[in-house]
Chains A and B, each alone.
Chain A
């Protein structure tokens, strides 16, 4: 028998390598994925961790649970807590001392409000309360027009807040802070920070549908599905890795019906009424708090003006769906996202 030629040996090695790599691909599967659920922030929190040893995972999740409960209590829009104290002080024209964390949160909120031309306006707590959304079970009737007008003329804004050292005061005592529009994002950022502090770098924290992911799913990026605003199916798919948040605001999340009309919780600070033209907005951004605030602001901005606001907030990946189910996307978003259904889509340049 002739000696096997080098050609033969190379081919055999290629074949075996090919087979081995094809087989070992299946190792990168769910055995290394640690999934757990928490109840916090009034919703279901889904935490996925990749390749983390059990005791470390449990510890990290426990820490996140504690932190989320603290945040929920401190920043609750209407129940007794730190925010309530701050609002009381501001309403009475008094100054109040803030700790580092509170200061950071409110300053970030102020900055986002400015970037969104005050469409993201956490200072309109009174208006939100007027509409009945400071309740676990919001219901009608909607407020009278003159009551809305009265609050609007006072123009409570984040720019009314004055920070000096660690003291906060407001020169408009109709300012009532409600950080609901970005609290979830802020909380998710905190959860991710806890994970990173414990050396966990591949994870997804999903709070009631809004999520931030870091790292990857082993050898491949994380695969995210975006749900259709009105049906059970998936409208779009995308892959994320590194450090990205995906947030969706919809006009179907909190609402009540009164005499056949639907009133939802995302109030347009300019008109005093719930924003009307948009069904949902999805934003992709590294920072979850920013993504959360932006999703709210863009929903209020509507199909006409969302591009301007997005640009000012530094958002280049966003998608807006209007009441007719037309999908508007930024070019960057169109590249990232795979639309799964046959919907009319419009890609808008800056």
Chain B
């Protein structure tokens, strides 16, 4: 009888760590999804802390994986897969990742310009949060509410993004200091 050999996936400790962090991100996402928000679309975005931690520890690629995993798995679990909520979530995540990628790769340039440490978690978090919010509003305008009145919310949402961005950034940096004591 012909039985194919079972496939052995070799996983490293880093893979385990990323998987654990992704699971944590999804968990945080679910908890936030259950919270009511005064303004639609505004969540504290604490799951982004995980994304940022992965970014600093494992690089952009892995951060992208964790972030997208969070969006897909989160929406499947909440039951909003392929709904407008999902589209918005995805749009926000992609915008955020794109800006984070850009900024991350600009760090060497910034350091050469004299900004010794480049952009830290707080700066990146603020950029990411603003990009996330902007991406969501533009997507909502194009696909869901074809009405310019939507932009009326922009100032409030960006203010929230900046505030929560700073908070997430600080939390990220505190976590990183714990996880990487030599840096």
Contacts and interface: CB of A to CB of B under 8 A. Distances in A.
A and B touch in the complex (CB under 8 A): yes
A14 B61 contact: no
Contact of A18 (B97, B101, B138): B138
B77 interface: no
Contact of A15 (B64, B94, B105): B94
A15 B135 contact: yes
Contact of A4 (B94, B97, B105, B138): B105
A344 interface: no
Nearest to B91: A18
B79 to A, nearest CB: 26
Contact of B94 (A1, A5, A11, A22): A11
18 contacts: A1-B105, A2-B59, A4-B101, A4-B105, A5-B64, A7-B61, A7-B64, A8-B64, A8-B98, A8-B101, A11-B97, A11-B98, A12-B102, A14-B94, A14-B98, A15-B95, A15-B135, A18-B95
A12 B101 contact: yes
Contact of A22 (B97, B99, B138): B138
B60 interface: yes
Given A11-B98, A15-B94, A15-B95, A5 B138 contact: no
Contacts of B64: 5, 7-8, 11
Interface residues of B, number: 16
Interface in A12-29: 12, 14-15, 18, 22
Contacts of B61: 2, 5, 7-8
Nearest to A11: B98
B101 A11 contact: yes
A22 B102 CA distance: 20
Contacts of A18: 95, 135, 138
A336 B30 CA distance: 40
B84 to A, nearest CB: 17
Nearest to B60: A8
Interface in B66-100: 94-95, 97-99
Nearest to A8: B101
Contacts of A11: 64, 94, 97-98, 101
**10 nearest A-B residue pairs (beta carbon):** A15-B98, A11-B98, A8-B101, A12-B98, A22-B138, A5-B61, A11-B94, A11-B97, A15-B95, A18-B138
Contacts of B98: 8, 11-12, 14-15
Given A5-B64, A8-B98, 8 more contacts: A2-B61, A8-B61, A8-B101, A11-B64, A11-B97, A12-B102, A18-B135, A18-B138
Nearest to B64: A7
A8 B135 CA distance: 16
A5 B98 CA distance: 12
Contacts of B95: 15, 18
Nearest to A7: B64
A328 B60 CA distance: 60
A20 to B, nearest CB: 11
A22 B64 CA distance: 24
